[in-house]
Amino acid sequence: MGTTTHLMTAEELILLPRGQHRYELVKGELLTMSPTKRKHGRIVANLTIRLGHYVLTHKLGAMYAAETGFKLASNPDTVLAPDIAFIRGSVDDSSESYGEGAPDLVVEVQSPNDRKAKVEEKAARWLALGASMVWLIDPKRRTVEIHLSNDEPQILTEDDELTGGDLIPGFSVRVSEIFSY
């Protein structure tokens, strides 16, 4: 006799209690994550403040903070929540459900327990599901790895300037500022 696995839907995911865990859904399978640590949160805040201010000042689109879910696929459902997200242009946020489709920019900060292969797989998943650009931030190495769909990743160190390229024209921040504590 075989076992049956219940695949969760985005509608079921949104009803889960908030608190001690964060959740994502990949092809109907629930992923449970612990809350991030302070260093992780500080890095997300440092970049969110700088990028968010630029995006709002120049009216380029909408910014989303950690735990904002984006429904990327259906039947089975995939809902991912990047550390930071940006969608260019006008956005209708009137719905109480997850955003449909991938944001234009996804920022993921690597946690101490994340394996490099897992993080790169996540970047590839975001790009395959419609993101234009993914920034992977590695606090341990103090680097930012830029992923675009048809290019090799570009690695920036603390001496480099991170820019928004064609996606967020004119935005730049020194990589070292992202890691300032």
Asked if 124 and 97 touch (Cβ cutoff 8 Å), the reply is: no
pLDDT band at 4 (very low <50, low <70, confident <90, very high): low
Q: Show contacts of 167-171: CB within 8 Å, 24+ apart.
A: 167/86, 167/88, 167/104, 167/105, 167/132, 167/133, 168/51, 168/54, 168/55, 168/60, 168/86, 168/88, 168/105, 170/54, 170/58, 171/51, 171/54, 171/55
111 Cα distance to chain centroid: 13
Q: What is the pLDDT of residues 43-97, one digit of tens each?
A: 999 999 999 999 999 999 999 987 799 999 999 999 999 999 999 998 887 777 8
Kindly give the pairing relationship between strand 168-174 and strand 22-26. unpaired
What per-residue confidence (pLDDT) applies to 95? 77
- State the pLDDT confidence band at 147, using cuts at 50, 70 and 90: very high
Closest CA to 40 of 145, 139, 142: 139
Tell me the pTM. Answer: 0.90
**pLDDT (0 to 100) of residue 65:** 86
Q: What are phi and psi of 73, to 5 degrees?
A: -155, 155
> Residues with Cβ < 8 Å from 56, sequence gap 6 or more?
63
Calculate mean pLDDT across residues 105-132.
Answer: 90
**Using CA of residue 40, residue 14, residue 59, residue 133, what is the dihedral sign?**
positive
For 20-42, write each residue's pLDDT tens digit: 778 888 999 998 887 778 888 89
Q: Is the dihedral of CA 17, 21, 24, 30 positive or negative?
A: negative
pLDDT in tens, 131-142: 999 999 999 999
Q: Which residues contact 69 (CB under 8 A, 6 or more apart)?
A: 10, 13, 14, 24, 79, 80, 81, 98, 99
User: Which domains can be identified in the chain, with CATH numbers?
Assistant: 36-65+80-178 (3.90.1570.10)
pLDDT tier for residue 2 given thresholds of 50, 70 and 90: low
